[in-house]
A and B are shown apart, each in its own frame.
Chain A
Amino acid sequence: MRNRIPFAALVLLGFVWLPAAGQQVPANGQFPPYRPPRMADGHPDLNGLWQAFVTANVDLQDHEAQPGPHPEIMGAYGGEPAGQSIVEGGEIPYRPEALAKKRQNFENRAKVDVSSDKTWHNLGDPEFKCYMPGVPRATYMPFPFRIVQGSGPFILMAYEFTTATRTIRMNFKAEYPTPAWMGWNRGRWEGDTLVVDVTGQREESWLDRAGDYHGDEFHVVERYTLVSPYHMMYEATIDDPKVYTRPWKISFPLYRRMEKNVQLLEFKCVPFTEQLLFGNYERKASK
């Protein structure tokens, strides 16, 4: 057939990729050098729907598969999978006196008591109560989030969990006026990495379901770097001198959700918690 292009020519021109002899599937943790598409201002385009696939929301550190709260009701539905630590060095460097509170948190993770305003936050994992999860926890929860990056002064991150959002104020000087659940986020570019400085988080938020927590001097610095058309590396340096002996780091890849027409949906969980939190104060039918 006269106009058929020989296969060899197609290979030579790069239309067909043949694995070279000895080359395997990509090695874990390795990405070939990548130059991402850019926005008009020259910075990488981070727009997209992203999701983490680590189990850090169960426990940042190494953890076995476990039954979860109330296995006598939940059975295997309530179980949580095993996972490997995303903490550099494996362990979170708690101050020795700070570890007791972590254990206490874990014991109380599925208990609530909102009978008194003054002790409202004493019990229960904020996630369990459908509170906004804070940073970095929102990044590694098992839900997607969308990054919206345009030509305005802010970048938006919109999370599916409780439809939380956070505004990244680019090159912004002012400090946080008052603590917020999703923190006070100031962003800047360092080369092709988006760096977000997070201060002013509510001290009541937790880092995972294992009771990992922080204090009121919590400071997180995130780094977002595109490493392929489908992956973004996420790193966070975490510190709070009242709770940890030194700053510590976590890292894991974020994956671009690729389903056709995929969109962020709503996980509005407040209605799922109302009986739990407030049911005791409703009027009970008289006997």
Chain B
Amino acid sequence: MNYRLLISIGVLTAVSLSTAAGQSQKPAAAADTAPKKVAPKAAAPAAKKTFRTPWGDPDLQGVWNDATSTPLQRPNGQGKDVLTDEEAADFQESLAFDLTRDRRDGGADIDVNRAYNDHWMDSRRLKITSDKRTSLVVDPPDGRIPPRVPLPPDRDKIRVERAAANDRFNAGLPQAVTDFSLPVRCIIRTDSPPYLPTIYNNDFTIYQSPGYVVIQPEMIHSARIIPLDGRPHLNKNLPQWLGDSRGHWEGDMLVIETTNFKNYPGVIFQGGNRETYKITERFIRVDATSINYEFTISDPATWTKPWTARIPWNRIDPDEQMYEYACHEDNYDLVHFLTGARDRERRGEAK
């Protein structure tokens, strides 16, 4: 063999040996993409460099809780977006009083809806966010979701049907399983984005592995698996109940774009339109015990402009555990609602 060939073989050998030597899975290319146009630019603090996974991604892993009494929208008449300490204390006290289930005032009609004592509820929901905002909505600046666009006949028909189904349910006279909401049917609950605080089980576990972020909400036992490798979304023919998510890093911020929601009432937040609805979520580690979660919803066929909300996710107890939330398996209520309605119809109590 000639000299040039020997060198070539040497190089080839070196290259092949290095690639073959039992390497760990390399993290998927966390590409430095050109900053995507996300509106609005959040004033989120930069993550500390110390919160990194061993393979170099920002570390969001752990069990987090998003309970808060801060309402989604600023209450009417509340002008300020951020309160002073004293105002915040008053605001929180009013909200906590409204939310507590340990009061018995207001008459039986209201009291039956309070259902059980406070000890069944997440006590952390009685506190407002630590940044003392009066709403979770941060854009538009008035803290209110933008006005809705008038619906075309086909979507309005669905809206009317859902409202009628809801009325039947509230009257205790549901006619069919489809009269119930998706949460009551145990199909989706807090696990459908955007993630919003509720009265209990506000826990989420975030897992990460090279090339993936996975979010597992407590209700209803599912997981959103978010690939970070830049693969395309699923085709439109393959919609998902929780949508189809793809993530990427922008600096220390995780950005998730979700599309392909199933075309079924109740799947998309507040009746958004499947073809035009876009939700972009952002996660950024703030410090040892908190993450900022922010989402922007844009749907010109439903709201006059895009809007954004920000919710802190906290880790108060480092040993906080999430527990299984089985739902359909023991959903006795669904039978009670239906048999109760048939009973009332037989007794002539139908409205």
In the complex, is A directly touching B at CB under 8 Å? yes
CB distance from A40 to the nearest CB of B (A): 3
CB distance from B12 to the nearest CB of A (A): 7
Interface flag for A54 (CB, 8 Å): no
Given contacts A181-B329, A266-B241, are A282 and B338 in contact (CB under 8 A)? yes
Residue from the list B5, B24, B221, B330 in contact with A120, Cβ < 8 A: B330
Evaluate contact between B175 and A282: CB separation under 8 angstroms: yes
CB distance from B53 to the nearest CB of A (A): 5
Given contacts A180-B323, A278-B338, A282-B175, are A13 and B9 in contact (CB under 8 A)? yes
Given contacts A156-B214, A268-B187, are A281 and B55 in contact (CB under 8 A)? no
Interface flag for B82 (CB, 8 Å): no
Interface flag for B185 (CB, 8 Å): yes
**Residues of B contacting A131 with CB < 8 Å?**
326, 328-329
CB distance from A44 to the nearest CB of B (A): 10
CB distance from A262 to the nearest CB of B (A): 10
Evaluate contact between B12 and A167: CB separation under 8 angstroms: no
**Residues of A contacting B209 with CB < 8 Å?**
47, 148-150
Interface flags, B22-64, vs A, CB<8A=1, else 0: 1111000000000000000000000000000111000101100
Within 8 A of B (CB), among A13-52: 13-15, 35-41, 45, 47
Interface flag for B151 (CB, 8 Å): no
The 3 closest A-B pairs by CB, nearest first: A40-B54, A281-B338, A152-B61
Interface flags, B213-233, vs A, CB<8A=1, else 0: 010100001110101000110
Cα(A139)–Cα(B12), bound, Å: 42
Interface flag for B181 (CB, 8 Å): no
Residue from the list B53, B59, B326, B342 in contact with A132, Cβ < 8 A: B326
9-residue interface stretch from A77-85, A96-104, A158-166, A241-249: A158-166
Residue of B nearest to A285 (CB): B175
Interface flags, A126-140, vs B, CB<8A=1, else 0: 100011100000000
Residue from the list B225, B231, B329 in contact with A158, Cβ < 8 A: B225
Within 8 A of A (CB), among B306-341: 322-324, 326, 328-330, 332, 334-335, 338-339, 341
CB distance from B157 to the nearest CB of A (A): 21
Cα(A183)–Cα(B12), bound, Å: 51
9-residue interface stretch from A2-10, A58-66, A187-195, A206-214: A2-10
Evaluate contact between B342 and A15: CB separation under 8 angstroms: no
**Residues of B contacting A13 with CB < 8 Å?**
9, 12-13, 16
**Residues of B contacting A3 with CB < 8 Å?**
4-5, 8
Interface flag for B208 (CB, 8 Å): yes
Evaluate contact between B225 and A146: CB separation under 8 angstroms: yes
Interface flags, A246-287, vs B, CB<8A=1, else 0: 000000000000000101111010110011001101110000
Interface flags, A160-176, vs B, CB<8A=1, else 0: 00111111000000000
Q: Say whether chain A's binding surface is mostly helix, strand, loop, or mixed.
A: loop
Interface flag for A108 (CB, 8 Å): no
Evaluate contact between B53 and A150: CB separation under 8 angstroms: yes
Evaluate contact between B322 and A47: CB separation under 8 angstroms: no
Evaluate contact between B9 and A181: CB separation under 8 angstroms: no
Cα(A156)–Cα(B225), bound, Å: 11
Residue from the list A14, A181, A274, A279 in contact with B185, Cβ < 8 A: A274
Interface flag for B345 (CB, 8 Å): yes
Q: Which of B's residues lie within 8 Å of A, judged by CB? A: 1-2, 4-5, 8-9, 12-13, 16, 22-25, 53-55, 59, 61-62, 175-177, 185-187, 205, 207-210, 212, 214, 216, 221-223, 225, 227, 231-232, 234, 238, 240-242, 322-324, 326, 328-330, 332, 334-335, 338-339, 341-342, 345
CB distance from A118 to the nearest CB of B (A): 10
Residue from the list B13, B175, B222, B328 in contact with A130, Cβ < 8 A: B328
Cα(A151)–Cα(B54), bound, Å: 7
Count residues on chain A whose CB falls below 8 Å from chain B CBs: 60
Residue from the list A45, A165, A271, A283 in contact with B222, Cβ < 8 A: A165
Complex A-B: 30 CB contacts under 8 Å: A2-B2, A3-B8, A5-B8, A9-B5, A9-B9, A39-B54, A45-B25, A47-B209, A117-B332, A117-B335, A120-B330, A132-B221, A148-B214, A150-B53, A150-B209, A151-B59, A151-B208, A154-B205, A156-B214, A158-B222, A165-B222, A166-B324, A182-B324, A268-B241, A271-B185, A281-B338, A281-B342, A282-B176, A282-B338, A283-B342
**Residues of A contacting B241 with CB < 8 Å?**
266, 268
Cα(A264)–Cα(B219), bound, Å: 19
Residue of B nearest to A156 (CB): B207
**Residues of B contacting A37 with CB < 8 Å?**
22-25
Cα(A162)–Cα(B232), bound, Å: 25
Interface flag for A122 (CB, 8 Å): no
Cα(A13)–Cα(B22), bound, Å: 18
Evaluate contact between B329 and A132: CB separation under 8 angstroms: yes
Cα(A278)–Cα(B177), bound, Å: 7
CB distance from B285 to the nearest CB of A (A): 13
Residue of A nearest to B4 (CB): A3
Residue from the list A14, A271, A274 in contact with B16, Cβ < 8 A: A14
Evaluate contact between A263 and B187: CB separation under 8 angstroms: no
**Residues of A contacting B214 with CB < 8 Å?**
148, 156, 158
Cα(A41)–Cα(B234), bound, Å: 33
Evaluate contact between B335 and A115: CB separation under 8 angstroms: yes
Residue from the list B55, B212, B326, B342 in contact with A181, Cβ < 8 A: B326
Cα(A10)–Cα(B222), bound, Å: 49
**Residues of A contacting B13 with CB < 8 Å?**
13
Evaluate contact between A9 and B323: CB separation under 8 angstroms: no
Cα(A163)–Cα(B177), bound, Å: 21
